[in-house]
Amino acid sequence: MANFSRKIKLVLIFVAIIVAGYALAFYWQTRNRVPLAFVNARNQGAIIAQSIVSTSNSSTATLEKIDQYDREGNYAQALALTQGLVSQSVDLRNQAINLSNQIETMTQSLSGIKDFTAQQDALEAISSHLALINQLINYSGDLGKLLDTLQMRFSGQTGTLGEVTGQVAQINIDINAINNFNNQAQQSMQAFDKIENK
């Protein structure tokens, strides 16, 4: 009889462990209200956006050098540095395409986020990343204009004094805007995390 009650106790403990396991799994599943596709795309998008920001920020010193070479009349050096930045902008464009793919996945997963305020924060982050991509297009176009100006100078066609300086200033404005949009996206996702991690 004692042996029988011991078997019952073991069975009850085993059943309790299974029930507790299911309850714990259910709790974590309902607690995690964010679709996995959104989480993965968000993480990948953040990495890509940070890479874009780092790459564009690194061009600031090069732009100062280009402006200096132009003022010194060293158009060959200025042209070489600009061509390097234009090549770099091709890589940035590829990163922008990858970022837009992640944004698309995030957008498609928005409906799976149950909390309305969190959904709005996610939407703001998506909007900021889209604005970043748009600014990156401007950055690339402005680099192309700078390259054209320096090629004209190098071939002996002089533009107005300060033309390169103005174009460099515009590219720096593009870089600052890229940074700002990335910061806005990060702030929106921090607000999102506060809601979802309650």
CB 153 within 8 Å of CB 73: no
Q: Are 92 and 139 in contact (CB under 8 A)?
A: yes
Cα distance between residue 62 and residue 77, in whole Å: 11
Tokens 């061509």: give the residue: 83
pLDDT in tens, the chain (198 residues): 455 566 666 666 766 676 666 555 544 444 557 899 999 999 999 999 999 999 989 888 899 998 898 888 888 898 899 888 888 888 888 999 999 999 999 999 998 998 999 999 999 999 999 999 999 999 989 988 888 888 887 777 766 667 888 999 999 999 999 999 999 999 999 999 998 886
Alpha carbon dihedral 51, 54, 56, 62, in 10-degree steps, equals -140
Give 143's Cβ-side CA count (13 Å radius).
26
Question: pLDDT value at position 103?
Answer: 94
Q: Is the dihedral of CA 176, 181, 183, 184 positive or negative?
A: positive
Q: What pLDDT does residue 159 have? A: 65
Per-residue model confidence (pLDDT) at position 32: 52
Residue 134: the pLDDT is 93
Is residue 56 a contact partner of residue 178, using CB atoms and an 8 Å limit? Answer: yes
Instruction: Collect contacts of 49-54 with beta carbons under 8 A, ≥24 apart.
Output: 49/99, 49/129, 49/132, 49/182, 49/185, 50/182, 51/95, 52/92, 52/95, 52/96, 52/99, 52/132, 52/136, 52/178, 52/182, 53/178, 53/179, 53/182
Q: Is the pTM of this model over 0.85?
A: no
